Structure formats: C-alpha cells, structure tokens
C-alpha cells in the first residue's frame, strides 16, 4: 500500500517530530484554530512555537494572522502566569508577494521546502541540529510510521514521568502528624504545665528555649482551633505528600513550622500556638508546584490555590487573635523549600541549588531579626 504525502505535510511532520523528540516541546490545545499546531516548552528560548499551514496571500491576511497570534498568546500568558512569551511563528504557505514584517516577541519564518528548514538564515540558524536531523524515510508510509512511533514513545515517556508525580500514594506522615496533634491536645490541654513549656513564648525563645519554635506547632488553643487546622492539614498534606513524597513533605512541614514561628517571634510579642504556620508552608509549596505544572493542572493555581492563600491572609489581617506573621513566615518558607527539595521532572539542579541558598538566607534573616 502506498501513501502520498505532499511537501507541506512532510514539513509539518518533520518539524513536529524534531521539536517534540529533540527540543522537548509539548502540544498545546488551542480552541478555535484550524490547520495550526501549537507547541510549548516554558524553559526554551522560544517558549511557544506555532506552525501554520493556512494560505496567506496578501498583507491584510498576514496582519490578521499576527493579530490572532497575539490574542492566543495573551490567553496562554494568563493561563501560565507568564509576563513574556517569546514565540516562533512558522508559516508554511505564504505568497511571495507578502513581506514578513518584524513583530515584538514573535519571530516569523516562511518555509516552502525542507531545504528552507535547513538554511542558516532560516530555522537551522536557530536550531542547528535541523541541518542534520533526518529519518530513514523509505516510502511515505514508513515516514509516517517512524515519526508517529517516535512521537508516541516520547509522549509515553512524558506521561510516565507525570504519572509518577500524580498517581495516588499511600499517605502516612499526614495522618501521623494529625494523630500527634490530637494526642497532644488531649494529654496536655491549654494552660497545663507542659502546654506552657511547649508554647511559642517570644521571651523564653530569646532566652534559649528554642524547641518552642517547633513544639508550638503541635499545640492548639481549643477544639475549634484544632479541628480547623487538622481539616486543612488533611487536605493539603495529602496533596503535598502525594506530589513530592513523604520525606520531602515532612521536611517542608517542619521547616515551614520553624520559619512561621521565627517570623511570629520576630514581629509579634505574644504567646502563640498552632499548626497554621506549617500548613501555610504547604500552601506555599503547592503554589510553587502548581506554577511549574500549570499547563498540566489547568486553572488549579489561579482558581484554587492562590484564592485560598489570599482569602486566608485577609482573614488573618482582619481578626486580631490570628497570628498572621506565622502564616506569612510559613508560606514563604514552604515556597522556598519546595524549590530546594525539588518537585519532580519540572525542576532542575540549578533551581534546587538556588532554593537551598535562598532558604538558608531566609532562615538566617529571620534568626537575625529574632535577636535584634
């Protein structure tokens, strides 16, 4: 059986194959467009690549096409919380009478043949591997099969890495932390000698009782305080423990409790207890995680995570008895720690090193503020 492939379709297949398998781009679903392929790699110099096979035969069509690109890019910016998206626009069917004009943040190239792809002044100037990148073509059917298999293998590899992050896991540490808080609440009620020994008392912390910076996160003022915090921990803890793993979750929780307590002692001068600093650390971690997986999670960051953080901070500022300093301290600490420990396939070694450095600086500043 023979299959006929025109030049335009062959160029599309070869370009998509190259960008997906070599440059690690992923397809974007864009509603309302036809004969266009959109790819994204938010870590690449060109974060967005658009391949358009529609015929553009005059200046007006070219200007309308540019207008359409900018509108779609605006939508992607809102979805990905990006301020700037450098875009490569590849046009496969442009009349010779149309002059391709320069456009801010959108570089446009007209392509008529495979030879055009490999020219130094064309795409090969941007991606040198395109000069030598090829397939054992055989006949047209072999070309389609080879390209399809390569893209499917790459997609399967990506899907497996995502599945490793998002698949349900057995939750242990979240339930253990909840159990510890409940047991401590029952054994050492508010006002008892042990409760006073473990609570976050700024004067005692400055006097050398540093254990209070952590132990206070396991105490609660009353049953309502306990129930609210444990409900939040049961939801957020399960998510972070699933996405990052048990050891990373526990580290983020405890260090966020520490940074929340340090911020509280540095800013306020009142007794404080509760797990909310550590819980806000989990929110900070989820915000960092959601930002890096924003294309996979859809609108979860914008519609769920950030509104929860914002609303709870507003509540903290309006109700006097709430220790919002601990919330803010834990929130920032959780985000920095998520960067430091890593969040799966979406982070890099340099990011983790930066996260460790920033976390250490942040904790050092809080300790400095504690004693001045």
CATH, residue 241: 1.20.1540.10
Is 145 within the bounds of a domain? yes
* Residue pair 290/305 in contact by the 8 Å Cβ criterion: yes
Is 182 within the bounds of a domain? yes
What is residue 125's three-state secondary structure? Answer: helix
Report residue 192: phi and psi, to 5°: -70, 165
Kindly state whether residues 145 and 191 are assigned to the same domain.
Answer: no
Question: What's the pLDDT at 145?
Answer: 58
Is 2 within the bounds of a domain? no
Kindly state whether residues 287 and 207 are assigned to the same domain.
Answer: yes
Q: Which domain holds residue 340?
A: 170-371
Question: What's the pLDDT at 245?
Answer: 92
Mention every residue, 6+ apart, whose C-beta is less than 8 A from residue 113: 7, 11
Kindly state whether residues 73 and 130 are assigned to the same domain.
Answer: yes
Question: What's the pLDDT at 137?
Answer: 53
Kindly state whether residues 199 and 100 are assigned to the same domain.
Answer: no
Q: Provide the annotated active-site residues.
A: 276, 327
Is 1 within the bounds of a domain? no
Question: What's the pLDDT at 1?
Answer: 45
Kindly state whether residues 272 and 251 are assigned to the same domain.
Answer: yes
Rounded Cα gap, residues 337 and 41, in angstroms: 24
Rounded Cα gap, residues 227 and 5, in angstroms: 65
What digits encode the pLDDT tens for the residues 74-97?
888 877 777 788 999 988 888 888
Question: What's the pLDDT at 295?
Answer: 67
Based on the structure, what is the number of domains in the chain? 2
Question: What's the pLDDT at 165?
Answer: 76
Kindly state whether residues 288 and 326 are assigned to the same domain.
Answer: yes
Domain edge (last residue) among 165, 187, 205: 165
pTM of the model: 0.76
Question: What's the pLDDT at 252?
Answer: 97
Kindly state whether residues 233 and 150 are assigned to the same domain.
Answer: no
Kindly state whether residues 137 and 153 are assigned to the same domain.
Answer: yes
Kindly state whether residues 180 and 150 are assigned to the same domain.
Answer: no
Kindly state whether residues 192 and 328 are assigned to the same domain.
Answer: yes
Domain edge (last residue) among 165, 184, 214: 165
* Residue pair 260/212 in contact by the 8 Å Cβ criterion: no
Question: What's the pLDDT at 331?
Answer: 96
- Weakly modelled stretches of the chain, pLDDT under 50: 1-4, 139, 141
Domain edge (last residue) among 144, 165, 186: 165
Kindly state whether residues 193 and 308 are assigned to the same domain.
Answer: yes
């Amino acid at each position: 059986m023979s299959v006929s492939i025109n030049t335009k379709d062959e160029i599309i297949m070869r370009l998509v194959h190259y960008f997906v398998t070599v440059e690690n781009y992923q397809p974007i679903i864009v509603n309302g467009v036809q004969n266009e392929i959109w790819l994204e790699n938010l870590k690449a110099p060109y974060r967005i690549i658009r391949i358009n096979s529609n015929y553009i035969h005059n200046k007006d069509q070219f200007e309308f096409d540019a207008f359409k690109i900018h509108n779609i890019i605006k939508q992607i910016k809102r979805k990905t919380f990006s301020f700037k998206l450098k875009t490569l626009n590849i046009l496969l069917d442009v009349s010779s009478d149309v002059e391709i004009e320069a456009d801010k943040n959108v570089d446009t190239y007209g392509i008529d043949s495979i030879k055009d792809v490999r020219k130094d002044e064309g795409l090969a100037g941007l991606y040198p591997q395109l000069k030598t990148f090829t397939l054992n073509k055989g006949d047209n059917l072999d070309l389609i099969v080879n390209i399809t298999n390569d893209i499917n293998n790459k997609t399967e590899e990506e899907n497996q890495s995502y599945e490793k992050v998002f698949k349900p896991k057995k939750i242990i540490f979240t339930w253990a932390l909840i159990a510890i808080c409940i047991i401590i609440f029952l054994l050492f009620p508010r006002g008892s000698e042990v409760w006073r020994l473990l609570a976050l008392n700024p004067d005692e912390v400055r006097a050398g009782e540093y254990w209070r910076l952590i132990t206070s996160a396991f105490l609660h003022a009353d049953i309502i305080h306990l129930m609210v915090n444990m409900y939040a921990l049961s939801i957020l803890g399960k998510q972070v423990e699933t996405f990052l793993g048990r050891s990373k979750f526990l580290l983020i929780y405890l260090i966020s409790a520490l940074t929340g307590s340090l911020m509280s002692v540095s800013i306020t001068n009142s007794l404080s207890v509760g797990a909310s600093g550590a819980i806000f650390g989990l929110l900070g971690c989820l915000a960092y995680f959601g930002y890096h997986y924003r294309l996979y999670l859809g609108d979860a960051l914008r519609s769920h995570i950030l509104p929860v953080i914002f609303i709870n901070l507003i509540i903290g500022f309006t109700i006097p008895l709430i220790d919002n300093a601990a919330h803010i301290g834990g929130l920032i600490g959780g985000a920095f720690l998520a960067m430091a420990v890593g969040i799966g396939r979406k982070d890099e070694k340099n990011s983790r090193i930066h996260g460790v450095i920033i976390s250490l600086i942040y904790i050092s500043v809080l300790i400095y503020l504690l004693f001045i």
